[in-house]
Amino acid sequence: MSFCEKCIVTGLVQGVFFRAVTKDRADKLGVTGYVKNIADGHVEVLICGQPEAVGHLKAWLWDGPDQAHVSNVKCILIDDVDVPKTFEIN
């Protein structure tokens, strides 16, 4: 069973390769969705896939790439979403 969660990652998460490294992790885990910078300086991540894989990527978001300094990750379950076929950087 596949499901989706949308996460907001706060801290020093823009300009530190967060999106590129998140995409690499997502591809390795076989999840779909997207990662994008948002205007307030945070990063938004939509993760869709098997619960275990989604959980692994959510846990990794707390670490991020070496240059990042994550202060918080908030995720919510998304019921009404067209599940993407790939994981993209937006």
What tens digit of pLDDT does each residue of 14-63 get?
A: 999 999 999 999 999 999 999 999 999 999 999 999 999 999 999 999 99
Q: Which of 25, 37, 72, 90 is catalytic?
A: 37
Q: Which of 19, 25, 72, 90 is catalytic?
A: 19
pLDDT attached to residue 69: 97
Domain locations along the chain = 3-89
Q: Is the pLDDT of residue 82 over 90?
A: no
**What SS3 state is found at 24?**
helix
Per the CB < 8 A criterion, the answer to whether 59 and 85 are in contact is: no
Whether domain 3-89 has CATH 3.30.70.100: the reply is yes
> Is 90 noted as a catalytic residue in this protein?
no
Q: Is the pLDDT of residue 2 over 80?
A: no
> Is 72 noted as a catalytic residue in this protein?
no
> What's the rounded Cα separation, in Å, for the pair 83 and 62?
24
pLDDT attached to residue 80: 82
